Amino acid sequence: MNKNALKQCFVIPVYNHPDTIAHTVHSLLPFGLPVLVVDDGSDQQTKQVLAELAVAVPQMQLLTLPQNLGKGGAVMAGLTLASEQGFSHVLQVDADGQHNLADIPAMWQLSEQQPQALISGAPVYDDSIPTGRKIGRYITHFWVWVETLSFSVKDTMCGFRVYPLAACMQLFAAQRPGLRMDFDIEVMVRLYWQQVPVVFVPTKVIYPPGGRSHFMVVRDNWLISKMHTRLFFGMLWRLPKLLWRKWQRATL
């Protein structure tokens, strides 16, 4: 794909973030690109804020889901709509203000240089990260290295990404990743299996005091555990191809 042919937009999944979504949307406007906000069955307070934003911000399009699907379901709905509208690449930004939007130009630039690639933030955390999240990330890193047979997949839990939509639509047609917090991990592993290059950009992530997290410790850890089980067995029958890929890279 010629980089000049890229058609880009932003996607923001939202679930009950009335205090931060307006700031996030307005922070993206200077880039001059459409902003697709996906309301994932939010409460009335958030819906009111979104309705006002949709009127006040011409660059913003609002997609309202009839019920809460989960972060992954909302992102897939946004990516699918963007693809249907002719976009080629989507930069997904969370609504809660954790992502460092100053890194967006570098991510778009890398996407233009490597349009077939998934461009992902590689989080650099400060001391505000909860200890449980930190431990959980290390456990997931281990399993992803097993599932991909590669240490090049540095972080699968950061949702700050540029998605190449053609590859994503191909994946979603064949295999629907998890709908909730398991989505970010699974979609990256499956795109890697699909031989989509994965490129990482170091990015600062902050957990602000009083921030609202929708990570449900028991439910989401259970979903992530089941997902890693599926991916592990999926890796086993892909093992010859993954080993061949690894050998080819080693001989370059």
pLDDT digits 0-9 by tens, 32-56: 999 999 999 999 999 999 999 999 9
Residue 220: per-residue pLDDT = 60
| Chain-centroid distance, C-alpha 21 | 17
Residue 8's pLDDT is what? 98
Instruction: Give the pLDDT of residue 157.
Output: 83
pLDDT in tens, 149-159: 887 888 888 88
Calpha distance 159→182 (Å, rounded): 11
Burial bucket for residue 47 (CB in 10 Å: 0-12, 13-18, 19+): middle
Distance CA 52, CA 54 (A): 5
Taking the C-alpha atoms of residue 158 and residue 99, their distance in angstroms, rounded to an integer, is 9
User: What's the rounded Cα separation, in Å, for the pair 38 and 72?
Assistant: 11
pLDDT digits (tens, 9 = 90+) for 137-147: 667 778 788 88
The pLDDT, as a whole number, for residue 171 is 96
The average pLDDT across 165-192 equals 91
pLDDT at 109: 96
Q: Which of 62, 68, 120 is nearest to 90 (CA)?
A: 120
- Domains of the chain and CATH, by start: 3-251 (3.90.550.10)
